[in-house]
A and B are shown apart, each in its own frame.
Chain A
Amino acid sequence: MNRRNFLSLTGTFTGGVLLLPEFLHAFGAQNSLVVGEQCLVFIQLNGGNDGLNTFIPYENPLYYDLRTKIAIGKEAVIGKNKGMAFHPALKDFAQMQQNGDLTILQNVGYPEPNRSHFRSQEIWQTATDATKYISEGWLGRYLDLQCKEPQPTAGINLDSIDNLALKGMEPNTITVKNPNQFKVRSDKDDTIKLSDNPQLDFVRKVANSVTEGSDEIQKAIAKSTTENSYPKTGLSKNLEWIARLIKGNLNSKVYYTSLGGFDTHDNQLAIQEKKLTELNDALYSFYQDLKKAQLLQNVTVVVFSEFGRRVKDNGNGTDHGTAAPMFIIGGNNKGTVLGKNPNLSDLDNGDLKYEIDFRSVYATLLQHKMNFDSTKIGINNNTVSGLF
Chain B
Amino acid sequence: MNKSNLWSLRLGFSSKQAAQIESLGIEKFLKQSFASKYEKHLPQFLEDDPKTLAELKEFRNKIKETTSAEGKKVLKQQLRNSSELKSWWIDKMRNDAFPLREKMVCFWHNHFVATSQKVKVNYWVYQHNMILRENAFGNFKELTKKIIKSNAMVKYLDNVDNKKGSYNENLSRELLELFTLGIGNYTESDIKNGARALAGLNLGEDAAVYRRFIEDNSDKTYFGKTGNWKADDLVDIIFEQKNIPYLITKKILKWLVYDNPSDAMVIYYGDYFRKMNFEIQPLLTKIVTEEYVKNNSGSKIKDPLLYILQLIDELQIKDVESKMIAFFLKQQGMELFNQVNVKGWDGGNSWLTSQIYLQRNNTADMLCNGKILNRKEFNNIPEEGEQPKISFEKVNISLQFDTNGNNKKIIADLSNRLLFQIEDDTQKDMENLLKYDFDAKEAHANNAVLRLFNYITKTPEYQLI
Annotate B79-106 by CB proximity to A: 1 below 8 A, 0 otherwise.
Answer: 1101100000000000000000000000
Closest to A212 in B: B354
How far does the Cβ of B336 sit from chain A's closest Cβ, in whole Å?
A: 12
Inter-chain contact B355/A213, CB cutoff 8 Å? yes
User: Is B314 on the interface with A (CB-CB < 8 A)?
Assistant: no
Prevailing SS type, chain B contact patch: helix
Query: Could you tell me the distance between the alpha carbons of A162 and B330 in the complex, rounded to whole angstroms?
Result: 28
A197 interfacial by beta-carbon distance below 8 Å: yes
Contact A210 B361 (CB under 8 A): yes
**In the complex, which residues 18-55 of chain A have their Cβ closer than 8 Å to any Cβ of chain B?**
18, 20-27, 46
A3 touching B79, Cβ below 8 Å: yes
Q: Which of A18, A162, A171 contacts B333 (CB 8 A)?
A: A18
* Chain A residue, CB-CB nearest to B442: A119
Which of A1, A10, A21, A162 touches B83 (beta carbons < 8 Å)?
A: A1
Interface: A199 (CB within 8 A)? yes
Number of CB contacts from chain A to chain B under 8 A: 142
**Is there an interface contact between B432 and A206, defined as CB atoms closer than 8 Å?**
no
Q: In the complex, what's the smallest C-beta–C-beta distance from A251 to chain B, in angstroms?
A: 21
Residues A213 and B323 in contact, CB atoms below 8 Å apart: no
Are B358's CB and A26's CB within 8 A? Answer: yes
For the complex, what is the distance from the CA of A207 to the CA of B360, rounded to whole Å? 11
Of the listed stretches B119-127, B142-150, B433-441, chain A binds: B433-441
Q: Are A1 and B323 in contact (CB under 8 A)?
A: yes
B425 touches A160 (CB 8 A): yes
Within the complex, the shortest CB–CB distance from B296 to chain A, in Å, comes to 11
Tell me if A99 counts as interface (CB < 8 A to partner B).
no
- In the complex, the answer to whether B451 meets A118 with C-beta atoms within 8 Å is no
Provide the residues of chain A in CB contact with B353, threshold 8 Å. Answer: 18, 206
Contact mask for chain A residues 219-260; partner B; CB cutoff 8 A; 1 contact, 0 none: 000000000000000000000000000000000000000001
Q: In this complex, what residue of A is CB-closest to B389?
A: A9
Contacts of B388 in A (CB 8 A): 5, 9
Question: Are A3 and B83 in contact, CB atoms less than 8 angstroms apart?
Answer: yes
Residue of B nearest to A175 (CB): B458
Cβ-closest chain A residue relative to B432: A161
A23 & B390 in contact (Cβ 8 Å cutoff) = yes
- Across the interface, which residues of A come within 8 angstroms of B455, CB to CB? 161-162
Q: A164 CA to B452 CA in the complex, in Å? A: 11
Chain B residues, CB < 8 A from A23: 373, 390, 392
Tell me whether B233 is interfacial, beta carbon within 8 Å.
no
A227 to B435, CA, bound (A): 38
Judge if B235 is at the interface, Cβ distance under 8 Å: no
Centre residue among B340, B454, B461 by max chain A CB count within 10 A: B461
Closest to B333 in A: A18
CB atoms of A135 and B369 under 8 A apart = yes
- The reply to whether A118 and B460 contact each other, CB–CB distance below 8 Å, is no
The answer to whether B301 touches A171 (Cβ under 8 A) is: no
Q: Which residues of B lie under 8 Å from residue A167 when comparing CB positions?
A: 369
Tell which of A20, A22, A116 touches B355, judged by Cβ atoms closer than 8 Å: A20
Bound-state CA distance A117–B388 (Å) is: 45
Residues 408-450 (chain B) with a chain A CB within 8 angstroms: 421, 425, 428-429, 432-439, 442-444, 447-448, 450
Q: A135-B447, A210-B361 are in contact. Are A117 and B333 (CB under 8 A)?
A: no
B427 CB, min distance to chain A CBs, angstroms: 11
**Contact in complex: A160, B80 (CB < 8 Å):** no
Instruction: Convert A140-167 into 0s and 1s, putting 1 for each residue whose CB lies closer than 8 angstroms to a CB of B.
Output: 0000000000000000000011101001
B301 near A210: Cβ-Cβ < 8 Å: no
Q: In the complex the two chains form, what is the Cα distance from A199 to B260 in whole Å?
A: 9
Contact A207 B425 (CB under 8 A): no
Known: A118-B448, A133-B447, A200-B298. A26 touches B355 (CB 8 A): yes
B396 within 8 A of A: no
Flag whether B349 is at the interface (Cβ < 8 A): yes
Q: Which residue of A lies closest to B84 (CB)?
A: A1
Cβ–Cβ contact B354 & A209, under 8 A: yes
Q: How far is the CA of A9 from the CA of B259 in the complex (A)?
A: 33
**Contact A118-B352, Cβ < 8 Å, known A169-B392, A203-B301, A204-B460:** no
Is B378 in the interface zone, CB < 8 Å from A? yes
Decide yes or no whether B359 CB sits under 8 A from chain A: yes
- What are the interface flags for A168-186 relative to B under an 8 Å C-beta threshold, 1 for contact and 0 otherwise? 0101000000000000000
Inter-chain contacts of B300 with A (CB < 8 A): 199
Could you say which residues of chain B place their CB within 8 Å of the CB of A278?
none
- Chain A neighbourhood of B448, CB < 8 A: 118, 122
Interface check B45, CB cutoff 8 A: no
In Å, the complex CA distance between A199 and B463 comes to: 10
Chain B residue contacts of A210, Cβ below 8 A: 354, 357-358, 361
Considering only CB atoms, which chain B residue lies closest to A2 in the complex?
B381
With most chain A CB atoms within 10 A of its CB, the pick from B80, B362, B464 is B362
The answer to the question of B299 belonging to the interface, with a C-beta cut-off of 8 Å to chain A, is yes
List the 10 closest A-B pairs by CB distance, nearest first. A209-B354, A203-B460, A2-B381, A133-B444, A118-B435, A116-B437, A9-B388, A24-B362, A204-B460, A207-B460
Q: Which residues of B contact A (CB under 8 A)?
A: 76, 79-80, 82-83, 259-260, 298-301, 323, 327, 330-331, 333, 340, 349, 352-359, 361-363, 365-366, 369-371, 373, 378-379, 381-382, 388, 390, 392, 421, 425, 428-429, 432-439, 442-444, 447-448, 450-451, 454-455, 460-461, 463-464
Interface of A toward B, CB cutoff 8 Å: 1-6, 9-10, 12-13, 17-18, 20-27, 46, 116-119, 122, 133, 135, 160-162, 164, 167, 169, 171, 197-200, 202-204, 206-207, 209-210, 212-213, 260
